[in-house]
Amino acid sequence: MLRKYIVLVGGTILLNACQPSPTFLAPASPIANHEASLYTIVLNMALVVFILVEGALVWIVIRDRKRAGDEKLPHQLHGNMRLEVVWTAIPILVVVVLFVMTVQTVNAVAQPAHLKSDLNIRVVGHRWWWEFDYPDLGIATANELHIPVDTTVQVALESVDVIHSFWVPQLSGKTDVVPGQHNTMWLTSDQVGEYLGQCAEFCGTEHALMRFKVFVDSQADFDAWVANQQQPAYQPQSEDEQAAYKEITGACAACHSIDPAEMDTDKVGPNLAHLFSRTTFAGGAFDLNESNLRSWLKDTQSMKPGNDMQITVPSQQLDQIIAYLIHLK
């Protein structure tokens, strides 16, 4: 039993060590900087308190242990006014300091009342993937958000099913994504890079596989990305591609659009217009490459049990469809 437990815990730690996971300890935005520094201060204060209290405890236990020949009670301190005042006053002081610093941080990271945003994004939570719409640019994409560096981004958050939570630890705190409610938050980053995001509110079986990425691009890279996303989806050339196109705009269209401007809120699955411009799929769960996509289309349920894609692509169409999808760059 114990061995099983050790293997389980050890395995989990090892697995986590291999998987990149979102961290707030490497902040890449002014907002996350404020949050990380408050965390560091609180952690250090807690560490000092822990060492002092546990150190005093150990010291007293050793110093005042019962020795051979000890018959009387040790010296009693009950009712010592000076001690009572000291150990009441210190915790109050600590809590007041923490309260003041927390309020300062909350004010510093709060969305300004009159936010002058340079970019508006709509985030829609679906079980279990993220829809990212750029209403002003006519772009609908999924699971990978692109924003330009040093830009103030206004994010509107909606959900079509249950409560999710949008969290990019290196850029910002969490904001809940609630059905029937329009929450907003703001994002900005001063460091070009790729940041992991994760749904932070338990939303069902595949909550853990509701991930996403945020790419903070240079302005030039962002403009190039936008220009590409605004292009219509690749048009079929060969006969095989025609057949795949017919299927994707036919049966698949019940759940997926390949119109890059179609905000998919009423669709069950992500927009595929520029699928292969992304690095991951299925809610950021898997690397996007031909072999993973093939496994997915053969049996989505074994890769991500419970997801809404309950169909299997027949093997005679599989090659055609994959060959076409790969062109959707």
Q: Which residues bind ligand CUA (CB under 6 A)?
A: 125, 128, 164, 199, 201-203, 207, 210
Closest to ligand CUA by CB, 164 vs 274, is 164
CB of 218 to ligand CUA, least distance (A): 30
Cα gap 24→132, rounded to integer Å: 22
Residue among 166 and 225 whose Cβ is closer to ligand CUA: 166
C-alpha atoms less than 13 angstroms from C-alpha of 210 in its C-beta half-sphere: 26
Instruction: Tell the smallest beta-carbon distance from residue 15 to ligand CUA (Å).
Output: 20
Cβ 277 to ligand CUA shortest distance, Å = 24
CB of 137 to ligand CUA, least distance (A): 25
Nearest to 142 by CA among 229, 249, 208: 229
Considering beta carbons, is residue 176 or 262 the nearer one to ligand CUA? 176
98/303 with CB nearer ligand CUA:
303
Query: Which candidate, 239, 217, 236, places its Cα nearest to that of 228?
Result: 217
Which phi and psi angles does 272 have, rounded to 5°? Answer: -105, 5
What's the closest the beta carbon of residue 202 comes to ligand CUA, in angstroms? 6
| Residues paired with residue 129 on neighbouring β-strands, in sequence order | 126
Q: How far apart are CA 318 and CA 297, in angstroms?
A: 7
Q: Which is nearer to ligand CUA, 34 or 122 (CB)?
A: 122
- Return the closest-CA partner of residue 257 out of 288, 233, 226: 233
CA separation for the pair 22, 45 (Å, rounded): 25
